[in-house]
Structure 1
Amino acid sequence: MTPLSAQSYSLVVFDWDGTLMDSTHSIVAAIQAACRDLDLPVPSASAASWVIGLSLESALRRAVPGLTAALMPRFLERYRIHYLTRDPELRLFEGIPGLLEDLAARNIRLAVATGKSRVGLNRVLAATGLGPRFETTRCADESFSKPHPAMLHEIMQELDVPPAQVLMIGDTSHDLQMAANAGVHALGVTYGAHEHKELLACAPQAIVHDVAGLREWLLPRVAA
């Protein structure tokens, strides 16, 4: 992909879990606890975290190979109970609200493409007060799961922004591969679910290791 010059991106699309919100540990713990409840083999933390970013059912099928269609409704119920008990502990990564505010002040259009359900995303947007920051959002249960490019295609079509002006930011290879499939640039962050080597294999524009690094890389590359 041809590198863009500085001051090029007019639309920044964020993943949610592990990119904006520090929720990776809670998702992993909920998957593992639901497995124990149903006497299923408990995946390792690395196996459970690898599926973050996919739609929930797709993620669970990958993380818990013994999970059958018959068990899925009960597993989802137990997963959601365990996840929601941790809901009060969830926080945005330090520095994210300020970064979003600075992007908005530069008239950068913001969106979210997430593996969360619509109900789940709406809940955290309301809880964090970030709903008004994003011009549009897409969830896996109303489109295709990552790494399918549909969510990005739909966002670009709705906002009438060409791929050359779009940047996708995410913490998993699923996010970065979705960006590649959609023909847009991607930026990886290592403070979420996937390790540096997995992100690097997707050939993003860059990989940063904290929100301060995200700010330092991003702000010079958005259209003021």
Structure 2
Amino acid sequence: MLRLAGFQRRHGPGARSGGVRALSYRVVVFDCDGTLVDSAALILAAMERAFVAARREPPPETLVRNIVGLTLVNAMAVLVPDAEVEEHLHLAEHYKTAFATLRAEGHHDEALFPGIGELLDDLDEAGRLLAIATGKSRRGLEHLVEKHGWGGRFVSLQTSDVHPSKPHPAMLLQAISDAGGRPEEAVMIGDTSYDIAMAKAAAAAAIGVSWGHHAPILLRDAGADAVVDDVAELRALLLP
């Protein structure tokens, strides 16, 4: 079920009605894991291996899902708040190794969520400028770009390698700038409260998707302008 928080039909790109941002945007920025790609099983398995390698008890799934979207070191600081920074760094390296190994073993597909491929095609055809802002590494994102045939599809690919962790707005602002747009012309689409908070910090609109890692209530509490339960609802907002 679509959950709106004041969205209204637009009267032009970036228009507002009664102070409420409109539905149609020239720049559409997506998160990756949990929004475009179903990588939950791979993330959870890699985190378990990382903690086992570090001789620590793996965190429960609910906690791991809550940190998806943060940079690795920040995520480890949340998962192991009593550890020193050096251990957070070591855990992050263990995670990278485990993730790469699991991906190479081919046990986890990192498939697109149903309907995402078609939505990207339609947005592109409609002249929307598409970008990605993700907590993934550049290497990890480039793997998915190649895997899913996204070469040339996105005008900007922003990753955690060169930006502060979400919810800092730097990567989103860079993506919007690369597209030649302004924050009021852009919408961020993501599955975590960090995506929503990043959009709000950048003065962009935010749509939360409920099929990822954070519960809808967390997305709404973070300030999402709308929360959608499937790609059909997302399409209705982006291509009115």
TM-score with structure 1 length normalisation?
0.90
Q: Aligned-pair distance for 1:78? A: 2.9
Q: Aligned-pair distance for 1:66? A: 4.7
Q: Which segment drifts farther, 120-129 or 174-183?
A: 120-129
Q: Aligned-pair distance for 1:44? A: 1.1
Contact 1:24–1:52 (Cα < 8 Å) also in 2? no
Q: Which residue among 187, 198, 203 is the counterpart of 1:167? A: 187
**For residues 78-114 of structure 1, what are the alpha-carbon distances to aligned partners after superposition, in whole Å with 9 as ceiling and x for unaligned?**
3223323443321111111110000000010000000
Q: Answer yes or no: is 1:184 the counterpart of 2:184.
A: no
Q: Which residue among 87, 111, 118 is the counterpart of 2:138? A: 118
Partner of 1:131: 151
Change in Cα spacing, 1:70 to 1:5, as seen in structure 2 (3 Å) is closer
CA distance in 1, matches of 2:81, 2:143: 29
List, as ranges, runs of 4+ consecutive aligned residues in structure 1 with deviation greater than 6 Å: none
- Match of 1:36, as an amino acid? V
Q: Aligned-pair distance for 1:129? A: 1.0
Q: Answer yes or no: is 1:29 the counterpart of 2:49.
A: no
Q: Aligned-pair distance for 1:40? A: 1.2
Instruction: Write the mapping of 1:102-113 to structure 2, written as runs, cut at 5 A.
Output: 102-113=122-133
Contact 2:163–2:171 (Cα < 8 Å) also in 1? yes
Partner of 1:3: 20
Q: Answer yes or no: is 1:14 the counterpart of 2:14.
A: no
CA distance in 1, matches of 2:80, 2:238: 36
Q: Which runs of 5 or more structure 2 residues have no equivalent in the other structure? A: 1-5, 7-18
Identity %: 38
Q: Answer yes or no: is 1:91 the counterpart of 2:149.
A: no
- Match of 1:128, as an amino acid? H
Q: Structure 1 or 2: larger helix share?
A: 1
SS for the counterpart of 1:13 is strand
**For residues 133-173 of structure 1, what are the alpha-carbon distances to aligned partners after superposition, in whole Å with 9 as ceiling and x for unaligned?**
10111111111210001112222223221211100000000
Q: Which runs of 5 or more structure 1 residues have no equivalent in the other structure? A: none
Change in Cα spacing, 1:136 to 1:74, as seen in structure 2 (3 Å) is same
Q: Which segment drifts farther, 92-101 or 208-217?
A: 208-217
Q: Which residue among 55, 58, 64 is the counterpart of 1:42? A: 58
SS for the counterpart of 2:28 is strand
Contact 1:208–1:214 (Cα < 8 Å) also in 2? yes
SS for the counterpart of 2:94 is helix
Change in Cα spacing, 1:24 to 1:84, as seen in structure 2 (3 Å) is same
CA distance in 2, matches of 1:135, 1:153: 13
Partner of 1:70: 86
CA distance in 2, matches of 1:19, 1:97: 12
